[in-house]
Amino acid sequence: MLKLGVPSKGRLMEKTFDWFGERGLAMGRGGSEREYAGLVEHDDVELVMLSAGEIPRELAAGRIHLGVTGSDLVRDTLAGWDDKVEVLAPMGFGHADLVLAVPRFWVDVDTLEDLDAAAAAFRRRHGFRLRIATKYHRLVREYLRAHGVADYQLVDSQGATEGTVRNETAEAIADITSTGETLRANHLKILTDGPIHASQATLFRARNAEWDGPSRDRLSRLLSDIGRHARSELLETKLSS
Ligand SMILES: Nc1ncnc2c1ncn2[C@@H]1O[C@H](COP(=O)(O)OP(=O)(O)OP(=O)(O)O)[C@@H](O)[C@H]1O
Ligand SMILES: O=P(O)(O)OC[C@H]1O[C@H](OP(=O)(O)OP(=O)(O)O)[C@H](O)[C@@H]1O
């Protein structure tokens, strides 16, 4: 059987079920709301219910053949993510931007270049580096390195990240936003250079899972079953290549 990892709760679970359902693959959670057992109507597929945050590691380890999770989580969790997983289909939901944001009253800081200058000034004045709170360590480091910003330190924040500025544990934040409400409510503004990453829920294939003959056959059957209903251009391209 092909093991397909899907989010077991949270904002991605229902939409994942809907996405497969719309493509002729009925799936859902079995048993009670608290039971993490998945049911799927396909002879080649076994559902594995996992937290969205754990799916990248399970894919990289090859313990699941396929997995649905946010593209942000795959990129941040897996060094060299592209070598470990292949994108089969962006799924068109779970859209959120990973952005850098600073206090709204920093009137001189709107771009990364401004942040770079502010960070240098901050260090001179305070004797320590400007703190950026985030849980997206890899993506933020790579982005700032690529843009030549070095005078900062990351502070780990696993939730309520926008509150760290008010709580004076950080001067800036890097977090996911969709409506922008949380940033606004916490008097933060997004740097104008564009998002670090525009994330969406994505169907991935684990390159390191066991892909023997029968597994490959199962995958092509599954993709062609899904593909018959597919609107995703990328999936259609994969199917025809
Ligand atoms: N406000 C938001 N709007 C839309 N998508 C979001 C938002 N915040 C996070 N996401 C996306 O949802 C995914 C994470 O989903 P969710 O928040 O349900 O999981 P989680 O809480 O990290 O998982 P778990 O608690 O099960 O480990 C990420 O890919 C992220 O980009
Ligand atoms: O732009 P908005 O629509 O306001 O959404 C953004 C918020 O949503 C996410 O938090 P989540 O709800 O996952 O809670 P968390 O703080 O525990 O991560 C994210 O971390 C932001 O805090």
What DSSP designation does 195 have?
A: -
Instruction: Write out the two tokens for 218.
Output: 């199962």
pLDDT at 238 over 70: no
Q: Given the CA of residue 175, which atom of ligand 2 is nearest to it?
A: 20
Instruction: Write out the two tokens for 134.
Output: 């985030």
Mean pLDDT of 83-102: 97
- Class at the top of the CATH hierarchy for domain 2-95+200-240: alpha beta
Q: Where does the chain have alpha helices with state H?
A: 13-22, 55-61, 71-77, 81-84, 112-126, 137-146, 163-166, 181-185, 213-227, 233-240
Span 11-59, pLDDT tens digits: 999 999 999 999 999 999 887 777 777 889 889 999 999 999 999 999 9
Q: Give the separation between CA 91 and CA 62, rounded to whole angstroms.
A: 22
Take atom 8 of ligand 1 and give the residue whose Cα is closest.
176
3-state secondary structure (DSSP) of residue 103 = strand
> How many Å lie between the centroid of ligand 1 and the Cα of residue 121?
35
Q: Interface pTM (ipTM) of the complex?
A: 0.94
pLDDT at 110 over 60: yes
> How many Å lie between the centroid of ligand 2 and the Cα of residue 222?
34
Same fold, 2-95+200-240 and 96-198: yes
Q: Check if 185 has its Cβ closer than 6 Å to any atom of ligand 2.
A: no
> How many Å lie between the centroid of ligand 1 and the Cα of residue 94?
8
Determine contact, residues 137/76, Cβ cutoff 8 Å.
yes
For 128, residues 6+ apart whose C-beta sits below 8 A from its C-beta are 153
Q: Domain-by-domain residue ranges, the chain?
A: 2-95+200-240, 96-198
Ligand 1 pocket mutation pick from 13, 95, 176 by most atoms within 8 angstroms of CB: 176
Identify the helix (H) or strand (E) that includes residue 100. strand 96-103
Span 188-229, pLDDT tens digits: 999 999 899 999 999 999 999 999 999 999 999 999 988 876
> How many Å lie between the centroid of ligand 1 and the Cα of residue 66?
19
From the options 3.40.190.10, 2.60.120.380, 3.40.710.10, 3.40.50.10440, give the CATH code of 96-198.
3.40.190.10
pLDDT at 31: 75
Q: Where residue 230 falls among pLDDT bands split at 50, 70, 90? A: low
Q: Check if 10 has its Cβ closer than 6 Å to any atom of ligand 1.
A: yes
> How many Å lie between the centroid of ligand 1 and the Cα of residue 13?
10
- Residue 70: which of 59, 142, 1, 62 has the closest Cα? 59
Ligand 1 pocket mutation pick from 6, 11, 178 by most atoms within 8 angstroms of CB: 11
Determine contact, residues 202/70, Cβ cutoff 8 Å.
yes
194 sits in the region (left: phi over 0; alpha: psi -120 to 50; else beta) called: left
